Amino acid sequence: MVIKPLKLLYGAIVLGMLWLLLPFALEEPAQFLVYEKPLTNPDIIIVLGGDAGKRTDGAAALYHKYHHPKLVMTSGSYFLEPQAVTMKRYMVEKWKIPTEDISTEIESTSTYENAVFTYPMIKQSGFKRILIVTSDYHTRRSFWIFKRIFKDPTIQLGIQSTSNELPEKKWWKDAKATETVILEWIKTCIYWARY
């Protein structure tokens, strides 16, 4: 079988175009995970557990920027004490935030439970402007689940990442970023199917 030069040229063009588009196709899975919905002057900031250091530092900066809204630290026990308690102590000691401005939710072990267990706290307090703080890769799934749980139409939800953990370009060349993207996609698919 003889391959005609024109077919060879077309094949080379198609392969060349695919090669040029490959970086864009690889960028998209990571970029999809990142979702921002800014909310100025929140009544309360919900800080999701997990990567507590970066999230609490970012939340402390937002606390001061927005003139001292209330804070809720979330996450149950991973080690000796609930992570939310550790986060609260860190906020008080490092950032000098008054303890009366910080509540804790210590029962949750997942993002879904963060939303389920903080919702009654928010309803009881009467807060209407809620800003969720988490890591960049965790924003889309977090916002989606909080919107599903916080169904009250009078509540305004915003979400903001406090860390840029995913590299802007070529995340697949970084082992930790690759692991983060794959795990977050797995969790996102499970959440979409389950909740």
CB contact at 8 A, 64 and 96:
no
CA 95, 97, 99: angle at the middle one, nearest 5?
Answer: 135
Alpha carbons 65 and 86: distance in angstroms, whole number: 23
Are residues 109 and 119 in contact, defined by beta-carbon separation less than 8 angstroms? no
pLDDT of residue 132: 98
For residue 76, the model assigns a pLDDT of 83
Predicted model pTM: 0.85
Question: Could you give the CA distance from residue 22 to residue 9 in angstroms, rounded to a whole number?
Answer: 20
Q: How long, in residues, is the chain?
A: 195
CB 12 within 8 A of CB 39: no
Domains, the chain: 33-194 (3.40.50.620)
Q: What is the pLDDT of residues 110-137, one digit of tens each?
A: 999 999 999 999 999 999 999 999 999 9
pLDDT tens column, 74-104: 998 766 789 999 999 999 999 999 999 999 9
The bridge status of strand 44-47 relative to strand 70-74 is: parallel
The pLDDT tens digits of the residues spanning 144-160 come to: 999 999 999 999 999 99
The predicted-structure confidence for 14-62, as pLDDT tens digits, reads as follows: 666 656 655 666 778 888 899 999 999 999 999 998 776 789 999 999 9
